[in-house]
Amino acid sequence: MKLAILFGGSSFEHEISIVSAITLKKVLKKSTITYIFVSADRRFYLIDTDKINSKLFSSGEYKKSKELTLTAGGFYSDSIFGSKRIDVDVTLNLIHGRDGEDGKISSMMEFFNIPFISPRMEASALSYNKLYTKFLAESLGVKTVAYEHLSKNTERKITMDYPLIVKPVRLGSSIGVSIVREASELDYALDVAFEFDNDVIVEPFIEGVKEFNQAGCFSSKWELSIVEEPQKEEFLDFEKNIWIFHAIHKFWLQIFLRG
C-alpha cells in the first residue's frame, strides 16, 4: 500500500508539522512514501523525499517543487502533457493545529473521496476547540476542571482564585499558554493568548498534576500504545509537546504498516 504524508499547513504550528515529517522520513527509511507539503498560503507541493530538510522550507526553495491540484479521487500534477494523478492509496494527515486538527482537512478529504488517516470532521471540530470539548464532556457526565471563557472584546473579569492558567481556545502545543499567579500578571497573559485566538479559556492552575499519554486507533479492533508519563516542568510546554506528537504519529504508522 502506498502512503502519502500531508504536512505543513497555515497554523502557528506549521513548523512542528514540518519537523514531524522530517522525523517520519528517518523512521520510514525503507518505506515508499509520498510527501505532500501544504504551504502557509494553502498550496500543495510534491516534495522529493531526498530533499526533505528544514532549510528547504525555511528558505522557500520548496516552491520549485511540482505544485499539485486537488480534485475527485486524489492529488494531481498538471503539465503541458495533461494531468497525472499522484499514485497513493491513503493519506496521513500530519498537519498540526488549524486546518489539520480542526476538521478542514478531514472535510476536504471526504469531499474529494480520498482515503485518509486522521479523526473525522466531527471529532476534529469538537476536540480542537477547548470550549466544545468542555461542553461535550459535561453533556456526557464527565467531570472537567472549572473554567471561565473570555473573548477578546469583552471585559477582562475573572472570578476564580489565583493561580490560574490561561489558554487560547483553538491552539495546541501549549502555544500562548501562561500561568498567572497574581492579578497583576493577568493582563499580560491575556494579551499573549489573544495574539493567537479571539477566545481564551481560564482554569485554576493545579500544582503537581501527573499527566499520562496513550495513543489509540480503531479499525476492526482497538490498538493502544504503551502508557507514558511525559517529563515536564510546571506544565507540558512546547518542546515536550513536540516529542509527544512524534511518538503518537510513529505509533499510528506502525499500526498502519503492520496492517
Q: How confident is the model at residue 65, as a pLDDT?
A: 94
Cis status, amide bond into 163, omega within 30 of 0 = yes
Question: What is the tens place of the pLDDT at every residue in 178-195?
Answer: 999 999 999 999 999 999
Q: What is the CATH code of the structural domain delimited by 3-122?
A: 3.40.50.20
Q: What is the pLDDT of residue 169?
A: 94
Residue 30 pLDDT: 61
What is the structure's pLDDT at 175?
Answer: 85
pLDDT in the model for residue 258: 56
Please enumerate, as own/partner, the contacts of 68-71 that have beta carbons within 8 Å and a separation of 24 or more. 68/36, 68/44, 69/44, 70/44, 70/108, 70/112, 71/112
Residue 194: predicted pLDDT: 95
Q: Tell me, what's the pLDDT at 33?
A: 86
Q: Which three cell numbers stand for residue 110?
A: 471526504
β-partners of residue 77 are 68, 84
Q: Which residue's C-alpha cell is 493568548?
A: 193
Calpha distance 11→105 (Å, rounded): 13
In this prediction, residue 257 carries a pLDDT of 56
C-alpha cell at 106: 478531514
**Interior/surface letters 38-63, b for 16+ CB within 10 angstroms, e for the rest:** bbeeeebbbbeeeebeeebbeeeebe
Going from N- to C-terminal start, the domains of the chain cover: 3-122, 130-204, 209-259
What is the per-residue DSSP string for 87-134?
--SEEEE---STTTTSSHHHHHHHHTT--EES--HHHHHHHHSHHHHH
Residue 114: the pLDDT is 93
- Helix or strand (DSSP H, E) at 168: strand 164-168
pLDDT of residue 79: 82
pLDDT at 160: 93
Contacts of 72 (CB under 8 A, 6+ apart): 112, 113
Predicted pLDDT at 54: 86
The pLDDT of residue 226: 75
pLDDT under 70: residue ranges of the chain: 29-31, 217-219, 230, 232-259
Q: What's the grid cell of residue 52?
A: 526533505
Residue 91's pLDDT is 92
Which residue(s) pair with 222 in the sheet?
218
Task: Decide: residue 122, CB within 10 A, 0-12 exposed, 13-18 middle, 19+ buried.
Answer: exposed
- Name the CATH superfamily housing domain 130-204: ATP-grasp fold, A domain (3.30.1490.20)
In the prediction, which pLDDT does 6 show?
94
